[in-house]
Amino acid sequence: MDTLSETICRITGASSVELGEEIQGLWSGYGVIQRATLRRPPSAAGVERMPVVIKHIDISRVRCNRRGWGGDVSHLRKVRSYQVEKAFYETFSQQCDASCLVPGLIAAHEKENAGGWIIVLDDLDAQGFDRRKDHVDEQSIHACLSWLANFHATFMGTSATGLWPIGTYWHLETRPDELASMRAGPLKQSAHAIDSRLNAAKYQTLVHGDAKVANFCFSDRDRDRVAAVDFQYVGRGCGMKDVAYFISSCLSEQEAASRQDSLLGFYFGRLEEALSARGIAIDFAALQNEWLELYLFAWADFCRFLSGWSPGHWKLNAYSDGITQSVLVQLGRS
Ligand SMILES: Nc1ncnc2c1ncn2[C@@H]1O[C@H](COP(=O)(O)OP(=O)(O)O)[C@@H](O)[C@H]1O
Ligand SMILES: [Mg+2]
């Protein structure tokens, strides 16, 4: 069997590869994301050395180490997520322009019998997007919301063939264990109604599905733009799922409450521009009305997941509880 370096040379056409720094381990040690340099890859004509990032997952060992893995919902969700990420890069990512930048795909490979994946991507750090943040100022938040608006505009109405039929890592159908462990009560009773309401949205796009601050790459040279990575949970959905979850990833309850309207206003301004820049004819007022209502449902849906997965989570706070209550009132289940 090929070594990792041999496989990378074979799938990229590079004459050799130097494996570099490990960025992080993946999924309980069964994979790694690491930097590498390709020598003379044909995809970069005339370039001698090309910096890349390799996402490598090897699940052959997971299978023998885990009992009953075939029935393990979380295992199957992970496996599917890597197939989805590969499909996103192969089939959809080329449509993302500089306004919703994603790393270029150099090569992707699935090992026999879904035994693992190797995804070779352009290194965004080498393109100036070398900053990661846990605390974001207004300009950085706007840059991320602008990325989301442009991504949602790009894929407005697109069908999710090869991706998750319904995106996000917390989608109800993929989280039966978390639903079962929720405390009995109106939110648990309404889990399917909230999900159905989101799925019935007239205006659907592709959502990133895990659009937290950690999955955006920032640049000091170009502070109004970001790039995004980690497309394991991309699928069809209402754009508010990404916006609500992004806000949950970087704002405290007080900040989320006080800035909600201005951030949503900013997002919708960008979305309108992005749709018209792409010549997409749409009743924007109707879209905005629908999605503003669904902002609340997207939060309630995320809180449904959190309250089964991690009941004391800090994101279950006065702001998100208030929103969930308002949704339960709308559904007549408070
Ligand atoms: N193409 C890339 N260029 C630069 N950095 C990257 C690239 N892909 C991933 N990274 C970095 O590696 C981190 C982990 O990658 P990610 O795909 O999000 O893996 P995980 O699914 O484990 O979160 C990202 O948050 C980002 O900082
Ligand atoms: Mg990530």
**Cα 152 to Cα 148: distance, rounded to the nearest angstrom:** 6
Among the bound ligands, the one closest to the CA of 132: 1
**What is the per-residue DSSP string for 243-282?**
HHHHHHHH--HHHHHHHHHHHHHHHHHHHHHHHHHTT---
Instruction: Give the nearest ligand 1 atom to 23 CA.
Output: 12
**What is the per-residue DSSP string for 132-160?**
--SS--HHHHHHHHHHHHHHHHHTTT---
For 179, phi then psi, to 5°, come to: -65, -45
Q: How far away, in angstroms, is 240 Cα from ligand 1 center?
A: 23
Instruction: Give the nearest ligand 1 atom to 214 CA.
Output: 25
| Dihedral angle computed from the Cα positions of residues 247, 248, 253 and 257, in that order, rounded to the nearest 10 degrees | 30
Assigned architecture for domain 4-122: 2-Layer Sandwich (3.30)
User: pLDDT tens-digit profile of 279-302?
Assistant: 999 999 999 999 999 999 999 999
Q: Tokens 């959190």 appear where?
A: 306
User: pLDDT tens-digit profile of 218-230?
Assistant: 999 999 999 999 9
257 Cβ below 6 A of ligand 1: no
Positions of CATH 3.30.200.20 in the chain = 4-122
**pLDDT value of residue 151:** 99
**pLDDT value of residue 30:** 79
Residue nearest to ligand 1 atom 22, measured at CA: 26
**pLDDT value of residue 334:** 80
**pLDDT value of residue 288:** 98
Of 65, 100, 62, the residue nearest 82 (C-alpha): 62
Positions of CATH 3.90.1200.10 in the chain = 129-330
**pLDDT value of residue 68:** 47
53 Cβ below 6 A of ligand 1: yes
- Spatial neighbors of 104 by CB under 8 A, at least 6 apart, are 93, 121, 122
253 Cβ below 6 A of ligand 1: no
- Fold of the CATH domain 129-330: Aminoglycoside 3'-phosphotransferase; Chain: A, domain 2 (3.90.1200)
Residue nearest to ligand 1 atom 11, measured at CA: 23
Mean pLDDT (10-residue bins), the chain, 334 residues: 89 96 86 94 82 92 54 86 96 98 97 89 98 96 98 98 98 97 97 98 98 98 97 98 98 97 98 98 98 98 97 96 98 90
**pLDDT value of residue 2:** 74
* Coil vs helix vs strand at 119: strand
271 Cβ below 6 A of ligand 1: no
**pLDDT value of residue 71:** 56
Structure tokens at 278: 């792409």
Report CA Rg, the chain.
Answer: 20
Among the bound ligands, the one closest to the CA of 88: 1
Q: How far away, in angstroms, is 192 Cα from ligand 1 center?
A: 32
123 Cβ below 6 A of ligand 1: yes
**pLDDT value of residue 65:** 53
